Amino acid sequence: MRTVVIAQEENRIDAKVMAQAGEIIKRGGLVAFPTETVYGLGGDGLNPQSSRKIYEAKGRPSDNPLIIHICRMEDLQTIVKEIPDEAKKLAEAFWPGPLTMILPKADCVPKETTGGLDTVAVRMPSHKVALAFIEAAGGFVAAPSANLSGKPSPTLAKYVVEDMDGRIDMIIDGGNIEIGLESTIVDLTGDVPMILRPGYITQEMLKDVLGEVTCDPTLLDGDCKDRPKAPGMRYRHYAPKGDMLILEGSPEAVVKEINQMVEASRAQGLKTGVIATGENADKYCADVVKVIGNRSEETAIAASLYRILREFDDEEVDAIYSESFATDGIGQAIMNRLLKAAGHKYKNLWEDA
């Protein structure tokens, strides 16, 4: 299959391109498109064949459900059984934006899209290209991240091309992505709203609107015996090819320990890499040192994370060491993705001190 790549800017959207992309979706094809979180791989969310194609293109297990993206508030009622008050409040506060809600699904949503579940994940993105595309596509675009299963989510169109060229009909290149981490997922089907995947919309922000909001206990705890409630969080995800370890402790202790580990890895003939904050970057002796951002700029750290993981693959780094980050606010999402990338390999130097 030949994959067409077309650039679109948020402030200069070409209606003809959108119509062309929309037609592809309506006849059962696949189009990757930019959103404010990461690039999505879109198909018709109400067409079971399209969802099957998405799983196939990504190499994704078909029990891992897709998020349906909408472009109008009034379309929510079409795909869910009922809209609880909590959903109304959250939509008002955070849509369009990086928040996904889990609600009981309406009959028109095929089980292929929901991985066999009776619930459906819904989000209205804020990216203008995404909104125009969803509208042209008929209003209900099922879209996981546009990466091959197991690779970091794409934050640049070149990574979508790398993973999806020849597998899908079209890639809309919207340039740089603003947030760089997938949407926050909140489950509204239980007694108390529960975060299944942390993201840019934090637990604190959700609590401000809803009062009580809990968190799936597995999110930051690799030893937790429970199974993550979002099927997708059960798979090893976001993984670079190299072996990765996260170190937590005082800045001096972390720098010292990482440098010792780098020397040891090097002695074994391994290529070494470090994920460093701007404050410490020049203190490391690894082959490749990537600055993820300054410690105080959490949104910049979130935006760089997946690009850096992919760059380590491109540069064939074998052993990756990363600094650790606070787990409040958006830091919860950053550490959740970082821990998953490292397969939860983590060393706490405070405990050694």
Sign of the alpha-carbon dihedral angle for 78, 178, 183, 8: positive
Of Mg ion, ligand AMP, none, which one does residue 46 interact with (CB within 5 to 8 Å by kind)?
Answer: none
Long-range contacts (CB closer than 8 Å, 24 or more residues apart) made by 292-300: 292/323, 295/325, 298/325, 298/329, 298/330, 298/331, 298/334, 299/179, 299/200, 299/330
Least distance from ligand AMP to the Cβ atom of residue 41, Å: 8
DSSP category for residue 6: E
Least distance from ligand AMP to the Cβ atom of residue 81, Å: 13
Residue among 31 and 317 whose Cβ is closer to ligand AMP = 31
End-to-end CA separation in angstroms for the chain: 57
Q: Which of 286, 325, 320, 279 is nearest to 302 (CA)?
A: 325
Residue among 188 and 254 whose Cβ is closer to ligand AMP = 188
Least distance from ligand AMP to the Cβ atom of residue 235, Å: 8
Residue among 119 and 322 whose Cβ is closer to ligand AMP = 119
Q: Using N-to-C axis directions, what is the helix angle for 331-341 and 298-314, rounded to 10°?
A: 20
Residue among 68 and 131 whose Cβ is closer to ligand AMP = 68
Least distance from ligand AMP to the Cβ atom of residue 349, Å: 31
Least distance from ligand AMP to the Cβ atom of residue 15, Å: 27
Q: For the chain, where are the E strands, in sequence order?
A: 4-7, 31-33, 40-44, 67-69, 99-104, 119-123, 141-142, 170-173, 184-187, 194-197, 214-215, 243-248, 272-277, 288-293, 319-323, 346-348
Residue among 121 and 291 whose Cβ is closer to ligand AMP = 121
Specify whether the CB–CB gap between 200 and 98 falls below 8 A: yes
Least distance from ligand AMP to the Cβ atom of residue 10, Å: 21
Q: Mask 126-145, x = binds Mg ion (CB under 5 A)? A: ------------------xx
**Window 134 to 193, contacts with Mg ion (CB under 5 A):** 144-145
Q: Which of 246, 252, 256, 242 is nearest to 309 (CA)?
A: 242
How far, in Å, CA of 155 to CA of 178, rounded? 8
Of ligand AMP, Mg ion, none, which one does residue 102 interact with (CB within 5 to 8 Å by kind)?
Answer: ligand AMP
Residue among 231 and 278 whose Cβ is closer to ligand AMP = 231
Residue among 89 and 227 whose Cβ is closer to ligand AMP = 227
- Kindly determine how many residues on this chain lie close enough to bind Mg ion according to the rule CB under 5 A: 2
Q: Cα separations (Å) of 129 from 136, 166, 175, 280?
A: 11, 23, 11, 38
Of Mg ion, ligand AMP, none, which one does residue 24 interact with (CB within 5 to 8 Å by kind)?
Answer: none
Residue closest to ligand AMP when measured from CB atoms? 232
Instruction: Summarize as ranges the residues that interact with ligand AMP (CB under 6 A).
Output: 64-65, 67, 102, 114, 117, 119-121, 144-145, 182, 185, 196-197, 230-233
Residues that bind Mg ion (CB under 5 A): 144-145
